[in-house]
Amino acid sequence: MRAAIYARVSSERQEKEHTIGSQLEALRGYAAQTDGIVEEFTDEGYSGARLDRPALDRMRDLAERRGFEVLLSYCTDRLARKFVLQALILDELERLGVKTIFLEGGAADDPLSKLLHQITGAVAEFERAKIAERYRRGKLYRARCGEMVSSNVPFGYVKIRRRDGVPAHAEIEEGRRRWFGGSSTIM
């Protein structure tokens, strides 16, 4: 069976920590059991909550052209973070005769495996929503405490990062200050 690999990371931190590399290494090791890897598809910096990802689109196009028989992905949430998207992709691949295998969770081709993948997909979606809620709540709390939480600052100001117990704040950028007739003006 000819295999394709799909891997994804969504954040800059995951990119910097090379977690996509560890996914690919594990997937390549598993692919040694197949007739070879047709193509590797990687989406770096794309949320699994979106369906419009460049590598995912290319993988789906290749599947439609019958370019491979098995798709290897590390786990269900690498394929999609939203259960509905995950179900859509898996159903599409199944209709095209592509067997999907997750290193964490196995194949998605029998009723029990499908149920487990549906459950883990729902849990991944819930987990993503909880992370977003915690992030929003923490940002709101810091803003209420007087901290500047946005990376955007007004023209003529610079953001001073949090340090030594002083919250992040904005200060006038000294290079922008000009004196005209004794008054200070921001340019």
Residue 51: which of 20, 10, 88 has the closest Cα? 88
Q: Catalytic: which of 10, 47, 73, 113?
A: 10
Sheet strands side by side (includes 99-102)? 37-44, 3-9, 70-73, 99-102, 106-107
Q: What are the Cα distances from residue 76, in Å, to 134, 136, 169?
A: 23, 25, 40
Q: What are the Cα distances from residue 148, in Å, to 50, 58, 77, 142, 174?
A: 29, 40, 33, 8, 19
Contact partners, residue 147, CB within 8 Å, separation at least 6:
162, 167, 168, 169
Q: Is 184 annotated as catalytic? A: no
Contact 74, 104 (CB under 8 A): yes
- Residue showing tokens 């819930």: 126
Catalytic residues: 10
